[in-house]
Every structure is written in C-alpha cells, then in structure tokens.
Amino acid sequence: MVLAAGFGERMRPLTLRMPKPLVPLAGRPLLDHVLDRLAAAGVKTAIVNVHYLPEQLEAHLAGRQSKKPETLVSDERGVLLDTGGGAKKALPLLGHGPFFIHNADSVWSEGAAPALSRMLRLWNPAAMDCLLLLAPAATSIGYAAKGDFAMDSDGRLLRRGKDEVVPFAFAGVSLCDERLFKDCPDGRFSLNLLWDRALAKGKLYGVRLDGVWMHVGTPEALAEAETSFEREGA
C-alpha cells in the first residue's frame, strides 16, 4: 500500500501544481523511488491511493505499466481517509497480507542490508501486530524533531513520552497484515490508532534502518536530500 493521497502542504510551492509523490528527487519522482524499491523487494502489486490532483498520479502510473510492480489505484477523491482509513479502504485489494504500508515520500540510501527485505525476514505474526521501519533520528536528513520511539533489545517499541527525546524516528514504512485492522473504525483515522492498540498488547516492533533516511518534508529538506544523493551516488 503506497500512501499518495495527501496535499503535501509543507512542500509548497512545489505542490501547488503537482502532487507531492511526483516531486522529483535525483531526477525521478518520489513515487518512482518507492515503487522501484518495492519491486526490488519482490512486491508484485502496489495499491496507490489518490485524492489531491489524482489525474496526474493516474497518468504517471499508466506510464509505468511496463515496469514492476503492477499498480492499482484506490480512489479517495470523495473523502481523504488519512493513513489508517486509506489502508482499510484498500484491504479488499491488499488481501490477507503481510503487506507493506509505505509513505509515498519515504526515501533512503540503503546500507549493507536492504531495508524492506530485512523487514520481510523479521516479520513474525505470532509475536507482532505491526513492524515499523525506524531511522536513527540523529543521522537522518531533514529531521529535527525529538524522535518517535525507543526500542528494546528484542525490537519491541515504546512511544516517546512528553518532553522526552528518543533515538528513533518512524521512517515511513510499516509491515502488517489484515489482523491489525480488526474492529477498527470506519472513515478517516490514523494508523497511530492501530499502533497504540498494538503497543498496549506488546506487539508493536521495529527494525533499525541500515542506511540514511531522508525526511523529505519541505523544499529545504528536498534540497538537502538531493545533495546526499549526489554525494553517495544513491
């Protein structure tokens, strides 16, 4: 599941005339970075949700028909459903899982071990309701917040408390299956709601990114990511 429906307001003025997933980074749209990485991990089908400037996204996906993965559109033109609601709407297309839920603007340079393949190897549905990709906040590009999670030695996660600073930021990718959505609300809601339920059961886990995450949230962060791609040949 590729979450591509948002307005990208912090990326303005670049997103006044194009959806954020089509903003170029290192000569390719952000969305192509995501889809190509999913294909490299063996993903055969990607569901892409659309809401803001949907015709542009649909036209771009149509131009990728000869490339992997196969792409299907989940149409949210009528109402923007947020991360959780958007994924729930796409469940009939996603199947039982496991499946990735991937932000359309989440990019990174790989380390020794490709991140998505590591997540698939570590996925353990008996112990986990959801597995999150986490980036060290101190070394991430374009990220200046206090982190999102602390992580135990076994990978189990803890939320950042008020006024705390924690080592890891959510890097925009999670792995789960349909069980995560059991008894979830209808309509618009955030994946954070489901993660908090998993936390309460001790079933929210993380994996550390072996690479450099680029938080491409603003034009300034995009420029910083461009410099990183040039330097590392990513």
> Does pLDDT of 234 surpass 80?
no
Q: What is the pTM of this model?
A: 0.93
Instruction: Check whether 144 has a pLDDT greater than 90.
Output: no
Does residue 161 carry a pLDDT above 90?
no
- The whole-number pLDDT of residue 151 equals 95
Q: Which residues of 46-76 are buried (b: 16+ CB within 10 A; e: fewer)?
A: bbbbbbbbbeebeebbeebeeebbebebbeb
What domains, with CATH codes, occur in the chain?
2-232 (3.90.550.10)
How do beta strands 168-176 and 130-136 pair? Answer: antiparallel
DSSP state letter for 137: G
Band of pLDDT at residue 111, cut at 50, 70 and 90: confident
